[in-house]
Amino acid sequence: MSTAERTWSGPSAPERLALLRQATSIAIVGASDKPSRASYFVATYLLSSTRYKVYFVNPVVKEILGQPTYASLADLPESPDIVDVFRKHDDLPGVLEEAVAAGARTLWLQLGSWHEGVAADAEAAGLNVVMDRCVKIEHARFHGGLHLAGFDTGVISSKRQVLS
C-alpha cells in the first residue's frame, strides 16, 4: 500500500514513548527461532536491553532464545500490554481478535505492516494502535541505544566509528 493511500494517523513520538514506558509485557506474535528474521532480532534486543516480560507466540516452535513459546495469545499467563505483530497482512484481523480476547492494551504492527481496517477495529475495541514501526527501533530511539548498526556503542561522536 502506498503512503498516499494511508489515512489513519498513529500516535505521536511522545505518545509512543508513553506506551512503551507504561508497558511491562510484550507478546511477539509470529516470533521466529531463525536468527535471520526481524522478529528474532527484536526478541534478542527486548530480552537483553529492556525490563519487559517478553512472550513468544508461535504454534510451531517449542522455544525461542531459551524461552518457551505459546501457541496463541490466549495461552499466555497474563494479558500482554503490547502485542507486537510479525504476521502477513491477511492474518492481521485474526491477530486483532486474539489480542482483544487476551486483554491486550496495544496492537503494534511492525515495519512494513499497515492495515487501516484493523487499526479502526482495534481502536473501536479500546486498544492503542501503532503501525509500520519497529518496537526495537522505537525503544532504542527513546532510550539512547540507536546506532547505525542498531547497537549502542557507548561512544558519542559526530564521526563514523572505525571498527578494528
Confidence of residue 121 (pLDDT cuts 50, 70, 90): very high
Torsion, CA 104, CA 32, CA 88, CA 134, rounded to 10: 60
The model carries a pTM of 0.85
Determine the pLDDT at residue 12. 94
Determine the pLDDT at residue 152. 46
Of all helices (H) and strands (E), which one includes residue 68?
A: strand 67-70
Mean pLDDT, residues 114-139? 96
pLDDT tens, position by position, 43-71? 999 999 999 999 999 999 999 999 999 99
Residue 29 pLDDT greater than 80, yes or no: yes
Gap between the Cα atoms of 29 and 64, Å rounded: 12
Domain ranges of the chain: 11-143
Neighbours of 101 (CB within 10 A): 13
Determine the pLDDT at residue 145. 60
Q: What percent of the chain has pLDDT over 70?
A: 85
Residue 158 pLDDT greater than 90, yes or no: no
Per-residue buried b or exposed e for 20-55, using 16+ beta carbons within 10 Å of the residue's own CB: beebebbbbbbbbbeeeeebbebbebbeeebebbbb
Determine the pLDDT at residue 130. 97
Residue 156 pLDDT greater than 80, yes or no: no
Mean pLDDT, residues 73-83? 98
Gap between the Cα atoms of 128 and 34, Å rounded: 29
Mean pLDDT of all residues belonging to the chain: 89
Mean pLDDT, residues 17-25? 96
Pairing of strands 67-70, 63-64: antiparallel
Determine the pLDDT at residue 2. 46
Considering the domain 11-143 in this protein, what is its CATH number? Answer: 3.40.50.720
